[in-house]
């Protein structure tokens, strides 16, 4: 299964209608909880592997990807990293059974631009959300936050 990750700004007027329009072909994540594109890509690949091996927790592949990106079985917590109605800084994960077609990469009201920049507020939100403690950060360094989050995804995969 092919995975393509894009980032940018997305305007959503009706969330339910918007999500139903894209179905199983795309996953939309709040960029405020995603460290970098590697985080999104790694979560998608792990979720797809679990889906193929029938080890999934969710009833749909997009929700499985969200659970992996959030590294939790708790759907209420995982949906925190989803998008809302209004303007969203977003990471979009396109999913395709074969190579993702460029036509599928077109999302209405989406402007591709860099939104994954790290700032202090986002850093604090991520370490709190993923329960990363100060000792871990001291050992690996703050610049390795992406590795710590991917470690959470691996632990989630092993323990679910």
pLDDT by residue for the chain (160 residues), tens digit each?
889 999 999 999 999 999 998 888 899 999 999 999 999 999 999 999 999 999 999 999 999 999 999 999 999 999 999 999 999 999 999 998 766 655 556 788 999 999 999 999 999 999 999 999 999 999 999 999 999 999 999 999 998 7
SS3 41: helix
pTM of the model: 0.93
Print the domain residue range for 53.
2-159
**Cα gap 118→96, rounded to integer Å:** 29
The CATH number of residue 137's host domain is 3.30.2380.10
For position 94, what pLDDT does the model report? 93
Say how many domains are in the chain. 1
For position 125, what pLDDT does the model report? 97
Do 25 and 106 meet the contact criterion of CB atoms below 8 Å apart? no
Where does 13-160 show beta strands of DSSP type E?
26-30, 86-96, 110-112
For position 105, what pLDDT does the model report? 67
Please name the residues in contact with 151: beta carbons below 8 A apart, sequence gap of 6 or more: none
SS3 14: coil
Structure tokens at 60: 């749909």
């Amino acid at each position: 299964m092919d995975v393509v990750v894009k980032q940018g700004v997305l305007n959503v007027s009706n969330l339910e209608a918007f999500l139903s329009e894209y179905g199983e072909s795309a996953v939309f994540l709040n960029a405020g909880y995603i460290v970098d594109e590697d985080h999104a890509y790694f979560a998608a690949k792990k979720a797809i592997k679990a889906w193929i091996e029938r080890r999934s927790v969710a009833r749909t592949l997009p929700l499985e990807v969200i659970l992996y990106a959030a590294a939790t079985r708790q759907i209420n917590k995982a949906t925190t990293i989803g998008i809302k109605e209004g303007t969203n800084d977003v990471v979009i994960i396109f999913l395709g059974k074969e190579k993702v077609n460029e036509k599928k990469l077109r999302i209405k009201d989406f402007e591709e631009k860099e939104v994954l920049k790290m700032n202090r507020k986002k850093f604090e939100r991520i370490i709190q959300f993923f329960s990363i403690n100060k000792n871990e950060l001291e050992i690996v360094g703050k610049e390795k936050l992406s590795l710590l989050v991917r470690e959470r995804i691996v632990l989630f995969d092993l323990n679910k």
